[in-house]
């Protein structure tokens, strides 16, 4: 079952009636890069909002920087806080599968966000972005707008499943388009690495028509390097995840940054809200919600621009 979820925030109003004190545990990666930072931002804001709206709900929010710590956090939540529901964004799929399974089997409601577990059917609810669609949307834009024989360089993120799925989607969309991928190297979702990598791409290739930076932090670095080399007019840069700065450029009609691809960190809000909803019994919210990536264009940019978001 696949549904496209449009606006999770609309669901808040539905909480009503007498509720028992329920505890929801939330475990997400620490804010080590922009997207994860935004994830934390949205998670904290949602928790505050829900607490205010429903005093019977209790939340435990933990952030981790490695899978081992995440497993310990989960164990602590079950042992000391006696959680009724768990919202988890697994740091890595493999090591978290068994611990989450144990928690699910003990009767706790489990919502998995973004990164699927390696075994199906454990979770009650799965909310995720679509990495294949993330890459495919960017690739499709290139295939549609660039000429036959256009030259593209690609910046990959940290070598991982997420990165692989995105790149596979991107390459699939380019197939048969006649667009040439000159090089793919890792910039590790880091601005500084992307800046250096772009400098080197620029030295290496006299002709580049487009850069798929795959992530807006990387796009920031790439743009700075292009500007430094004075080659702004030559190529377009497409990032991803809808960073405020990028969306702003798009809505202002920047030629170098014509479009962007969404991968909304607010999916964590959706997941928490749906879990709360399921717990309070207003509506059963199980299943799978895949948030496909959308193309942000100058025409629709306004609706993706959030002034107070940190990302």
Partner 1 sequence: MSGTASISKNRARGARRPDLRVIGPLVALVALVLIGMALNPNFLSYANITNVLARSAFIGIIAIGMTFVITAGGLDLSVGSMAAFVAGLAILVMNALAGSMAGLPVLLLGIALALLSGLAAGFINGILITRAGIEAFILTLGTMGIYRSLVTWLADGGTLSLGYELRELYRPVYYGGLFGVSWPIIVFALLAVLGEVVMRHTAFGRHCAAIGSNEKVARYSSVAVTRVKLATYVILGLLVGIAVVMYVPRLGSASATTGLLWELEAIAAVIIGGTLLKGGFGRVWGTVVGVLILSLIGNLLNLTDFVSPYLNGAIQGVVIILAVVLQRDTGAAR
Q: In terms of CB distance, is 225 or 277 closer to partner 1? A: 225
Q: Which residue's entry shows tokens 């577990």?
A: 117
Q: Is 240 in the site for partner 1 (CB under 8 A)?
A: no
Strand (E) or helix (H) holding 139: helix 131-145
Kindly indicate which of the ranges 14-22, 36-44, 86-94, 270-278 contains the residues binding partner 1, using the contact rule CB under 8 A.
Answer: 36-44
State the virtual CA torsion across 3, 8, 10, 12 in degrees, nearest 10. Answer: 120
User: How does DSSP classify residue 147?
Assistant: P
Nearest distance, CB of residue 309 and partner 1, angstroms: 8
Closest CA to 289 of 86, 39, 5: 5
Nearest distance, CB of residue 279 and partner 1, angstroms: 26
Residues 164-203 that bind partner 1 (CB under 8 A): 183-186, 189-192, 195-197, 199-203
Q: Is 129 in the site for partner 1 (CB under 8 A)?
A: no
CA angle 94, 27, 281 (to 5 degrees): 110
Q: Which two tokens stand for residue 188?
A: 């590790």
Q: Is 156 in the site for partner 1 (CB under 8 A)?
A: yes
Please measure the distance between the N-terminal and C-terminal CA atoms of the chain and give it in whole angstroms.
Answer: 31
Binding mask 256-295 for partner 1 (x = CB under 8 A): ----------------------------------------
- CA distances to 43, 44, 194, 211 from 266, in Å: 8, 11, 25, 26
Chain residues in the site for partner 1 (CB under 8 A): 30-34, 36-38, 40-41, 156, 159, 183-186, 189-192, 195-197, 199-204, 217, 220-221, 224, 228-229, 245, 310-311
């Amino acid at each position: 079952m696949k549904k496209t979820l449009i606006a999770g925030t609309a669901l808040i109003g539905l909480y009503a009636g007498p509720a028992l004190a329920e505890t929801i545990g939330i475990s997400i990666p620490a804010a080590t890069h922009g997207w994860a930072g935004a994830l934390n931002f949205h998670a904290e804001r949602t928790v505050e909002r829900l607490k205010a709206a429903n005093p019977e709900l209790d939340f435990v929010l933990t952030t981790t920087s490695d899978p081992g710590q995440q497993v310990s956090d989960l164990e602590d939540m079950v042992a000391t806080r006696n959680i009724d529901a768990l919202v988890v964004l697994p740091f890595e799929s493999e090591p978290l599968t068994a611990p989450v399974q144990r928690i699910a089997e003990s009767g706790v409601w489990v919502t998995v966000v973004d990164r699927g577990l390696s075994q199906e059917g454990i979770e009650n609810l799965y909310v995720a972005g679509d990495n294949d669609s993330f890459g495919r949307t960017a690739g499709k834009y290139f295939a549609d707008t660039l000429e036959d024989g256009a030259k593209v360089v690609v910046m990959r993120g940290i070598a991982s499943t997420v990165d692989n799925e995105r790149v596979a989607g991107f390459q699939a969309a380019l197939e048969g388009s006649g667009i040439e991928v000159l090089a793919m190297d890792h910039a590790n979702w880091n601005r500084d690495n992307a800046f250096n990598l772009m400098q080197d791409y620029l030295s290496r290739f006299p002709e580049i028509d487009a850069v798929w930076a795959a992530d807006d932090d990387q796009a920031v670095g790439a743009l700075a390097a292009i500007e430094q080399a004075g080659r702004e007019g030559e190529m377009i840069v497409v990032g991803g995840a809808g960073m405020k700065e990028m969306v702003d450029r798009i809505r202002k009609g920047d030629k170098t940054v014509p479009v962007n691809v969404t991968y909304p960190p607010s999916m964590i809000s959706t997941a928490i809200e749906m879990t709360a909803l399921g717990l309070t019994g207003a509506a059963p919210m199980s299943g799978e919600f895949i948030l496909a990536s959308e193309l942000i264009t100058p025409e629709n940019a306004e609706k993706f621009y959030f002034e107070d978001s940190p990302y």
